[in-house]
Structure 1
């Protein structure tokens, strides 16, 4: 009887562990590839000016090109707006833990060209939508004591 209970618990553990891994892999595969930020929007009242990823103004991210490499969790993004600090940036990314395809967390760490981080600091972003053609990241921000949500809306480039 003890052996049957042990085997039952072992089966539940293995099933749960595999589904977690599959969900993370599925999300990682959905993110893999070339993307463009179509728009940056805000959920909250008022007008906002913000700097994203401690880099440039949110408006500079519109039209930026993003490349996610799933097999080594590295990537680049390029600010294309000539009125901003244009150019390519490097990052390391990861989808941690038990996350479903439609929502979950994305960890993003800005690095240098050799994928080394000077500060080892990173960002935890929420994936509120991810499929084969669209992805949205939501970042909560505190503005005058109120939470405002910044949405980075991506479209997949199919080339």
Structure 2
């Protein structure tokens, strides 16, 4: 019985992947913006937690960059007047990564994120990520992504805290 459970857990870990519904295209990126939500996110933030069902058994490759746990402790900067910023991953035991980003929050409450290569213009990046903004306060907010795990949709929650 233990072998069957272990095999199922290992199989599920191979099938945890990004849902195609979360890929943002240029039509979604042109939606009107929610300026008040964007202004509230302006500033420097630390991603303090990543949670999802089965996180002890399933690895999630967040934003096609690294294991989701490598994002804990990452720093994010959001500039609301030009929708630019940057992100930096420096978790111990993980590969360091930093990148400029372009972001916005549309009127449907979706956080639109483009991760850029150094020197790349956002207009040349035709895809990105759509996440739901939740529980937004002055000092914290969540971004929720939907992934496919073994044919089922699961929520990955990224918890942000304002940095000083």
Is this a same-fold pair by TM over 0.5? yes
**What's the secondary structure of 1:94's corresponding residue?**
strand
Q: Which runs of 5+ in 2 are unaligned?
A: 1-31
**What's the secondary structure of 2:45's corresponding residue?**
strand
Matched, 1:121 2:127: yes
For residue 84 of structure 1, report the CA deviation from its aligned partner.
Answer: 1.5
Equivalent in 138, 142, 160 of residue 136 of structure 1: 142
Matched, 1:64 2:74: yes
For residue 123 of structure 1, report the CA deviation from its aligned partner.
Answer: 0.5
Instruction: Indicate the residue corresponding to 2:93 in structure 1.
Output: 83
State which drifts further: 110-119 or 70-79: 110-119
In structure 2, distance between residues paired with 1:34 and 1:46: 29
**What's the secondary structure of 2:111's corresponding residue?**
strand
Point out which structure has higher relative CO (alpha carbons under 8 A, 6+ apart): 2
* Alpha-carbon RMSD: 2.0
Which TM-score applies when normalising by structure 1?
0.76
Structure 2 counterparts to residues 4-153 of structure 1, below 5 A: 24-43=34-53, 47-97=57-107, 99=108, 104-117=109-122, 119-153=125-159
Distance 1:32 1:115, change over 3 A: farther
Q: Which structure: larger Rg?
A: 1
Which TM-score applies when normalising by structure 2?
0.73
Matched, 1:155 2:156: no
Q: Which runs of 5+ in 1 are unaligned?
A: 1-20
Paired residue total: 132
For residue 87 of structure 1, report the CA deviation from its aligned partner.
Answer: 3.1
Q: Is the 8 A contact 1:92 1:111 kept in 2?
A: yes
What per-residue deviation string (whole Å, max 9, x for no partner) do you get for residues 75-133 of structure 1? 11100114222032111001123x4xxxx111001112335256421111111121211
